[in-house]
Amino acid sequence: MVAQPSSSRMSVEEWRELERTSHDRKHEYIDGHVYALAGGTRIHSSIGANVVSALQAALRAAGKKCYTYNSDMAVRVSSTRYIYPDASVSCDERDRPTIDDTEIHNPCVIVEVLSASTEAYDRGKKLSYYLACPSIKEYALIASHQQTVEIYRRTAKNWSYAMYGPNDELELPSLAISVPVSAFYVDTGVPEEIEEVEGEV
């Protein structure tokens, strides 16, 4: 996300028209302000593609009728907030793929791939936006410097937190599936863990 929003406020419909006519850049819509999104690195893009592929494969194997989307799909997290996560899953029939629709309204799983430029936002304001969305049951943060996945899960009273490493299976109870963490890092060159430099404390 850029450091500053657009100077003038927009309505949701004005933002939608901007997205329809802006072919070279996407924009997130937060409380009347529009934020232009920058492009990602090859590592970020590759992990994102792996995430979508791995989730689709696991859902098909489990016979689940859910819909997985990449970062081209806007997600409505409230009536005034529309965000482009790296991957999203909805099991709501109203969010099935169609020719004209460019956003989903009932996501149950959201995935963000962390990078140096977005990590603070993904862990901060964006985290609060996702956790406030009632349909979202799980929010996963995937590291791009080592093979680690963090996940927030909605519980009856609050949210729980868990971390998974390269040899673990990421469990997604809301989808009744699990995915090997290593599947997110296929052909990316991301190390299983960061090697400590000798002499560092």
The overall average pLDDT reported for the chain is: 92
Which residue would you say has higher pLDDT here, 198 or 16?
A: 16
Q: Looking at the predicted structure, is the pLDDT value of residue 47 above 80?
A: yes
Q: Looking at the predicted structure, is the pLDDT value of residue 35 above 70?
A: yes
Q: Per-residue pLDDT tens for 143-199?
A: 999 999 999 999 998 999 999 999 999 999 999 999 999 999 999 999 998 765 455
Number of Cβ within a 10 Å radius of residue 76: 19
Which residue would you say has higher pLDDT here, 174 or 201?
A: 174
Q: Looking at the predicted structure, is the pLDDT value of residue 7 above 90?
A: no
Dihedral of alpha carbons 83, 86, 90, 95, sign: positive
Residue 110 exposure: Cα atoms within 13 Å on the Cβ side? 32
pLDDT at 40: 81
- Cα 55 from Cα 59, distance rounded (Å): 6
Sheet with 81-83, edge to edge strand ranges:
33-36, 27-30, 81-83, 74-78, 103-104
Mean pLDDT, residues 129-148 taken together: 96
Residues of the chain with pLDDT > 70, as a percent, come to 93
What is the token pair recorded at 188? 């990316």
Which residue would you say has higher pLDDT here, 81 or 6?
A: 81
pLDDT at 117: 81
Smallest CA-to-CA distance from 126 within 114, 108, 143 is with: 114
Q: For each of the domains in the chain, give its residue range(s) and CATH number, in order of start.
A: 1-38 (no CATH), 41-185 (3.90.1570.10)
Contact present, 110 and 122 (Cβ < 8 Å): no
